[in-house]
Amino acid sequence: MRMKTPSINFMVARKIAGWISIGAVIGSVALIALIGLSFGLDFTGGSLVELEFATEPALETVRETLVIAGFPDAVVQAFGAPTDVLIRLAQDNAPKAGDVVFAALQAAGFEVELLRSEFVGSAVGEELREQGGLGLLLALGVVMLYVAFRFQFKFSVGAVVALIHDVLIVLGIFALFGLDFDLTVLAAVLAVIGYSLNDSIVVSDRIRENFRIMRTNDPLKVMNDSINQTLSRTLATSMTTLIVLLALLFLGGELIHNFALALTIGVAVGTYSSIYVVTGVLLMMKISRDDLLVPEKEQEIDDRP
């Protein structure tokens, strides 16, 4: 496949892209505020039992059995395979609730096997929530510092705005569809930060280089050329990452389904944001050649014919 550097005029659509991004972010914030994230067991505390039935059970019967056993608030749902059932119990049940549920169903004549049972105390849930939020802020802070140190302040604002954009949209989609937000999803969101940054840096790196070597001082042209030059790399990396994520999404099983989903959305959005959000912010902050005048070490290499 012999490819020429494409010359697509990305910047023509930058205003539209800007409005789409702003709309998506506002929409996500609204969704998170109005619907809220459906926090999983890790963050809310409570109990959860996953059982495998020998034959597909009638969920209503399971529910009735649990009401009789003293769990009127039990949520019973199919999980993955039709014979797999997930039962959630609210916080006020003691650690042994999982065992009681299992025993009650066995006593009621169901042929069941315990796949997993989890209990998280409310205090632990609260701590995990705090730790998670802290981790998110810390990651954003450290990343901003690093980019500011390695590049220039305007780039670091661009990169961080792109990160926040990506994270908010992932969270917004999770809120919209009421997907469970648990520890693994949090890990995925943090990984999205890592990935999206990766992309932004590659593009920023090229913008910086082009500002130095191109004769023009027209930021729009510099941006456009930079995006075009990195496009084949951006797409190739996004493709390979998406390929493995889709493999995880479809083959990895229920436990990491949401994890893979969050990453898939994040990578897709991250690819877009490295093209439009980073450049958008840089243009808004009126980036110019003068911002990058301080010569750096790699200048030496760059000046070669």
Partner 1 sequence: MIVSLVFGTLYGLPNGFPDDPAVQITSNRSTELLSEFDAIRAEDALKEAGIATIALDFDGSQALIRFDSIETQIKAKGVIQAALGSDFIVALNLAPKTPEWLQAIGANPMKLGLDLRGGVHFLMEVDLRAAVSQRLDAYASEIKQMLRQERIRFRSVDVKPGGEIEIRFLNTETRAQGVERIRTEYSGAFAYREADRDGAAFISLLLAEGEQANIEDYAVSQNLTTLRNRVNELGVSEPLVQRQGRNRIVVELPGVQDTATAKRVLGATANLEFRLEALPDTPVRETQQFKFRAEDRIAQLERDIITTGNSVSDARSSFDENGMPQVNINLDASGGRRMADVTKTSVGRRMAVIFIESRTRNEIDRQTGEIMQVRYKEQGIISLATIQAVLGNQFRITGLDNARESSELALLLRAGALAAPIYFVEERTIGPSLGAENIERGLNSVIIGFVLVMCFMIAFYKGFGVIANLALAVNLVLLIAIMSLFQAVLTLPGIAGIVLTVGMAVDANVLIFSRIREERMRGLADPQAIRVGFERAFVTILDSNITTLLVAIILAGIGSGPVKGFAITLAIGICTSLFTATLVTRLTVEGLFSHRHLPKWAL
CB 242 within 8 A of CB 126: no
Q: How far is the CB of 215 from partner 1 (least distance, A)?
A: 15
* Under rule CB under 8 A, residue 210 binds partner 1: no
Contact map string, positions 104 to 133, toward partner 1, x by CB under 8 A: ---------xxxxxxxxx-xx------xx-
Q: Print burial letters for 26-56: b (CB count within 10 Å at least 16), e (below 16).
A: eebeebbeeeebebbbbbbbbbbbbbebeee
Q: Rule CB under 8 A: is residue 213 a binding residue for partner 1? A: no
Q: How many residues does the chain have?
A: 305
Smallest distance from partner 1 to CB 21, Å: 21
**Cα 259 to Cα 256: distance, rounded to the nearest angstrom:** 5
Counting Cβ atoms within 10 Å, is residue 271 exposed (0-12), middle (13-18) or buried (19+)?
buried
Evaluate the CA torsion angle 70, 75, 79, 81 in order and state its sign.
positive
Contact between 33 and partner 1 (CB under 8 A)?
A: no
Element (H, E) at 35: none
Give the DSSP letter string of 227-259.
Answer: HHHHHHHHHHHHHHHHHHHHHHHHHS-GGGHHH
Q: Does 95 bind partner 1 (CB under 8 A)?
A: yes
Q: Record the tokens describing residue 238, joined without a space.
A: 């996004």
Q: Which of residues 158-187 bind partner 1 (CB under 8 A)?
A: 183-184, 186-187
Strands of 136-272 (E only): list them. Answer: 180-181
Q: How far is the CB of 94 from partner 1 (least distance, A)?
A: 7
Please, which residue, 31 or 189, has the CB nearer to partner 1? 189
Q: Where does this chain touch partner 1 (CB under 8 A) — which range of 3-11, 25-33, 66-74, 166-174?
A: 3-11
Restricted to residues 36-55, the positions that interact with partner 1 (CB under 8 A) are 50, 52
Q: Which is nearer to partner 1, 52 or 180 (CB)?
A: 52
Please list every residue from 240 through 299 that binds partner 1, using CB under 8 A.
Answer: 240-245, 247-248, 251-253, 255-256, 259-260, 263, 298
Among 27-35, 62-70, 134-142, 166-174, which window interacts with partner 1 (CB under 8 A)? 134-142
Name which of 171 and 190 has its Cβ closer to partner 1.
Answer: 190
Name which position in 202, 220, 268, 283 contacts partner 1 (CB under 8 A): 202
CB 11 within 8 A of CB 223: yes
